[in-house]
Structure 1
């Protein structure tokens, strides 16, 4: 597990997204996550929706299901899956700015909450499906992240996790100059490997139903973000002030690190499909 030299907590994560909200909306748009280029011909909007649709497909969503979007950002994934699959979604974010933006774009069946997933308040076995797109990285207690997802899922329910992952065996300069700074600048308390994620998921009670390494299909995101950010800094005084402010420069300059981290294999992007065991025939509730 890669752990930065400066500890991060939920408050630091919330402050990060609240402070940089104008930049995130300008650079990332409504979806605060990577795009997935399946054919290579997708537009940026089509690519981010392709990742969302992949998550929905891996979950096997059915109309009327109750779902949880863990780290929902601006609520765009929740809104899209609610529309395309007819599900109800409770979204969890630490950012009041993200929740405010989402509240201005209401969709029936979508409820965005400002709440830490680790203390989510959901009842046991109350959710049919859950997903976390690039939010598990921000969890201070990753084993508890998985344990909470397992607790709230109904028997047979699925969790899909899209995650930034440290390359297995990454060491030396890749850790010192890429992975540790990426964690520090992006407010990630830690970054795990595929093996560590699978071990934590299994310890929580999940079976690993699938894993996909899409590291070659997502890095274009960062070249697009770099171009958008450069343009915004040149033409927008507010964006320039935020981007070049003393407390935010690290987050902005992480973009070249991320590009290099993917190219060198120091970092991977994985999609985990995890399943909670169904109730066995003849089992009696305790």
Structure 2
């Protein structure tokens, strides 16, 4: 597990996204995650939507199912899957700015909360499916991240995790100059490897149905972000202020991320997990009722 040389916590993660909100929406848009390219000819918008569609396909979402979006950002993934798959989604974010944005862009069957996943308040076995797109990295307690997902999912429930991963046995210079600074500047309490994620998922009770390394298909996200950031820096005063004087200096990590992908120091993996059914009985689609505890 890669650890930053300064401790990170949920408050630091929230502050990061709140302060950099204008930059993130200008550079990344409503979907604060990588794009997934199949042909290389897709627009960035189509690529980020393709990653969401991939998650929906891996989960096998059916109309009426109750779902949880762990670390939902601005709620764009939740909105897209609610509209295209007919599911009901509860999303959780640590960022007040993200929660406010989601509240001003409502769609039916999507409910966004300002709440820490590690203290989520959802009842046991209340969801049919869950996903975490690039949010597990921000979890202080990753074993508990998986344990909470297992608790909230009903028997037979499915879980997809899209994660920034460290290269297995990354060399010292990659850790010192790429991975540790990315964790520190991006407010990641830790960055795990594929093997560490699989071990934590199995310890929580999940079955690992599949894993796919899509690093090559997502890496161009960062060259696109770099170009957008340079353009924004030249024309937008707020972007210049945040790039130069913000407490959170994540913009410094963009060149590191480009190099981390090119050298293999960082990987991007999609895990498809499932919770065992009780007594082998099939789960009826949409049978769970997602509720919050009082």
Interval of TM-score (by shorter of Structure 1 and Structure 2) = over 0.9
- 1:278 maps to what in 2? 277
Q: Distance in 2 between matches of 1:158 and 1:148?
A: 13
What secondary structure, in the 3-state scheme, does the structure 2 residue paired with 1:30 have?
Answer: coil
Deviation (angstroms), 1:246? 5.0
Q: Distance in 2 between matches of 1:232 and 1:27?
A: 8
Stretches of structure 1 that go unaligned for 5 or more consecutive residues are: none
Segments of 4+ moved more than 3 angstroms: none
| Alpha-carbon displacement from aligned partner over 1:188-234 (angstroms, at most 9, x marks no partner) | 00000000000000000000000000000001100110011111111
| Alpha-carbon displacement from aligned partner over 1:148-202 (angstroms, at most 9, x marks no partner) | 0000000000000000000001021000000000000000000000000000000
Cα-Cα RMSD: 0.8
What secondary structure, in the 3-state scheme, does the structure 1 residue paired with 2:147 have?
Answer: helix
- 1:114 maps to what in 2? 114
- 1:220 maps to what in 2? 220
What secondary structure, in the 3-state scheme, does the structure 2 residue paired with 1:183 have?
Answer: helix
Change (3 A) 1:196 1:106: same
- 1:33 maps to what in 2? 33
- 1:22 maps to what in 2? 22
* TM-score for both structures, normalised by structure 1: 0.97
- 1:257 maps to what in 2? 256
Q: Distance in 2 between matches of 1:185 and 1:281?
A: 46
- 2:94 maps to what in 1? 94
- 1:198 maps to what in 2? 198
What secondary structure, in the 3-state scheme, does the structure 1 residue paired with 2:30 have?
Answer: coil
Deviation (angstroms), 1:140? 0.1
Q: Distance in 2 between matches of 1:224 and 1:15?
A: 25
Say how many residue pairs are matched: 281
- 1:60 maps to what in 2? 60
- 2:84 maps to what in 1? 84
Deviation (angstroms), 1:239? 1.0
Q: Distance in 2 between matches of 1:281 and 1:15?
A: 45
Q: Distance in 1 between matches of 2:153 and 2:207?
A: 13
Q: Distance in 2 between matches of 1:253 and 1:7?
A: 19
Q: Distance in 1 between matches of 2:39 and 2:121?
A: 40
What secondary structure, in the 3-state scheme, does the structure 1 residue paired with 2:29 have?
Answer: coil
- Report which stretch shifted further, 236-245 or 197-206: 236-245
Q: Distance in 2 between matches of 1:215 and 1:255?
A: 16
* TM-score for both structures, normalised by structure 2: 0.95
Q: Give matches, 1:182-197, under 5 Å.
A: 182-197=182-197
